[in-house]
Amino acid sequence: MKNSLFKCLPVAVAALFAASAVQAQQTTSAKSSPTQFRTWSVGANVGVLSPISPLGGKNDFSNWKSDLGYGIYIKKQFTNYFSLRLDGVGGRLKGDNSEPYDSGVSNTSGVREFDTKLTYSGSLNAVVNMFNIDLFRQEDALQLFGSVGAGLAGYKPSINTGSGMREYAPGKTISELIIPVGLGAKFKVSDGVNIDLGWTINFVDGDNLDGTYMGTSNDKYNYAYAGLEFALGQGKQLAFHNPVAVTYDEAVQAKQTAAALKSELDAQKSDNARLRAELADAFKDTDGDGVADKLDKCPGTPANTVVDGSGCPLKVPAPVEKVVITEADRKVVADAIKNLEFDFNKATIRARSYPTLNRVAALLIEKNFSLKLAGHTDSKGSDSYNLKLSKDRAESIKAYLVSQGANASRIEATGYGESQPIATNATEAGRQKNRRVEFTLF
């Protein structure tokens, strides 16, 4: 009959895989992370093989011996916490009855000693990194782990029944199921090299490992080892990457970014409030004659009084039968458009635009032309903001022309925002063309 332990171990393996799958959903995987990680590794180790288990159970020999063991493995790290490892172990297991048990009772078995060659031992193990030592470091240097798996071991026992050593099963290699359960620790030396320390108890599904079949319990053996692990590829090792610390650092960075954005937004609000106050003061017109108080030389004119650019009652000239606009007139307007510049994202005209605007004002005064100003913007910003900015810029030009003596009643200022583009808004060159104020003489 199989030992009851072997009935429970498959359940334990399944539970370990299920727990690891849940952890995988909560941690950074090599596929989903923007950082490149090393997920494949190989290792080699040497250690001590001994035919007992410190977890208890009956030993068929009273005096067990330790002998050299060696192993290699290849491992795939799927998440920060979970990996699969394919192990191979070889070596020798020895014991005899030259000494009594610790209780003082001597072993009277007919087999005096055994020497078992572990021809091969291969197992697939689920390895779980139990926790990160420092929760606030993105890269740890020490990692503790546990493992459980299943595999197959092939071995050849030799026994001594008093007439020298002989093969227990002549010419045959015995193959049986093994369940390895282990603990260990890794120390990261560099991104590509780890020191690997471990201890594995191998439960054998049989009672032939020591060449003595008692039938009361299954055999088991220990392998305590030290070795080196080599991480393949480029980047950091996924197993030593700490997603808790990464999340914490990202939260701190997000908080700092939010604080910086709030400070920037508050500064922008302050600038906007100051700009609104400046515009309100610049366009204030108490008597409603269309001339700002700052430029009105005749404040308090009666309602509906036609005034000139200085705010004084206008002497209406004799009507002109026909308005003739020459090429020279159009060139004056074209030069003004070409040289027109505003402060960034504002309606303030830059001083370098004044000379050509002065020529437009003189033209309006000299020929009594009417002028339509149409402000336009590109598509950056909200519709309402662009409409207001285009209107403010057109009004700013009107106010300047009026300040130079032009007739306010003959100047119409309108804003269209981003609704009438003349080029694509997908390129900077196109957006530059769309940011304009059109002058139309009539």
Distance from C-alpha of 289 to C-alpha of 283, rounded to nearest angstrom: 12
pLDDT value of residue 17: 44
Structure token digits, residue 173: 């290699």
Question: Is 238 in contact with 35 (CB distance < 8 Å)?
Answer: no
Among 88, 36, 101, smallest CA distance to 62 is for 101
Q: Could you please report the per-residue DSSP string of 17-79? A: HHHHHHHHHHS-BTTT-SS-EE-EEEEEEEEEEES--TT----SSSEEE-EEEEEEEEEEE-B
- The closest of 296, 440, 287, 274 to 369, measured between CA atoms, is 440
In the prediction, which pLDDT does 14 show? 46
The pLDDT, as a whole number, for residue 403 is: 94
pLDDT reported for residue 8? 41
C-alpha 295/C-alpha 408 separation (Å) is 12
Give the DSSP H or E segment for 94.
Answer: strand 82-96
Backbone angles phi, psi at 278, to 5 degrees: -65, -45
Give the per-residue pLDDT at 331.
94
Phi, psi torsion values for 201, nearest 5 degrees: -105, 125
**Beta-strand runs (E) in 133-265:** 142-160, 165-167, 174-188, 193-204, 220-232, 236-237
Nearest in space to 287 (alpha carbons), one of 296, 276, 278: 296
Q: Which two tokens stand for residue 318?
A: 């004799």
Report the sign of the C-alpha dihedral through residues 148, 153, 159, 165, in that order: negative
pLDDT of residue 345: 87
Structure tokens, 124: 């697939």
pLDDT of residue 308: 80
At 312 the pLDDT is 86
Q: By the 8 A CB rule, do 191 and 231 touch?
A: yes
pLDDT tens, N- to C-terminus, the chain (442 residues): 334 333 444 444 444 444 444 444 444 444 444 568 999 999 999 999 999 877 655 677 888 899 999 999 999 999 988 999 999 999 999 999 888 877 778 777 888 999 999 999 999 999 999 865 555 566 678 889 999 999 999 999 999 988 889 999 999 999 999 999 999 999 999 999 999 999 999 999 998 898 888 777 789 999 999 999 999 999 989 888 876 655 655 666 777 788 888 888 888 988 888 888 877 777 788 878 788 887 878 888 888 788 887 888 877 665 555 778 999 999 999 999 999 988 888 989 999 999 999 999 999 999 999 999 999 999 988 999 999 999 999 999 999 999 999 999 999 999 999 999 999 999 998 888 888 999 999 8
Letter for the amino acid at 415?
G
Strand partners, 90: 70
- Give CA–CA dist 89/224, Å, rounded: 11
Q: Which residue has the tokens 């030993």?
A: 59
- CA dist 315 and 307 (Å) reads 8
CB 296 within 8 A of CB 311: yes
